[in-house]
Amino acid sequence: MSKLLVQILRVLLVLLIPLVIVLGVVRLVAIEPYLAFEYNKTDFPADPFGFARDQRLDHATANLQFVTQNQPLVDLTEQEHNNAPLYNARELKRMQDVQNIYQTAWRGWQVALFLAVLSGLALAWRKESRPALASAIQSGGAFTVGLVVVAGLAAIAAWQTWFVAFHQVFFAAGNWTFDITDTLIRLFPEK
């Protein structure tokens, strides 16, 4: 294998490792057991407008399934509470956006994982390129930690600015701000 190809594969692996790790963690928290864990915390805030904890968990689970299982929007539009639609139009638009972003990220994770494994196997194949594999894993890990630290510090130092910037990048204007009486805020409170 040429030195240029080894270097290209090494750099590719360094860049893919953060994607694989960060998007993999997102996938790990987008599961029903994690949702149940959060809802069952003793300090999870009660809904001031009447949802019982079990109702909230049921609705939140259906919401999570809509996003992660790429279900049609009608699955959310048909949900009701006290014979009234559970979500308003703005909330439905937001959830469609969340689903689209999640599904794109999930496909991106699959591609990144495939390319990372392929690059790793190519570097591991020959004895002379194995040091490049070890170096790529180490550098990719350090790069991941650096990105997480920078994002974490930005969130700590200026949470509101970071929160607004994140939503302006990923969501259409006006569909990511909600009233405290809206279902999405009631199911997924800020805490």
Asked whether residue 174 carries a pLDDT value surpassing 90, the answer given is: no
DSSP class per residue in 31-51: SHHHHHHHHTSTTPPPPTTS-
* The pLDDT of residue 50 is above 90: no
pTM of the entire structure? 0.87
Question: Which one-letter DSSP state was computed for residue 181?
Answer: T
Cβ–Cβ under 8 Å, residues 102 and 30: yes
At 179 the pLDDT is: 87
| Tens digit of each residue's pLDDT (9 = 90 or more) over 62-94 | 999 999 999 999 999 999 988 999 999 989 999
**Which of helix, strand or coil describes residue 186?**
helix
Distance CA 40, CA 138 (A): 38
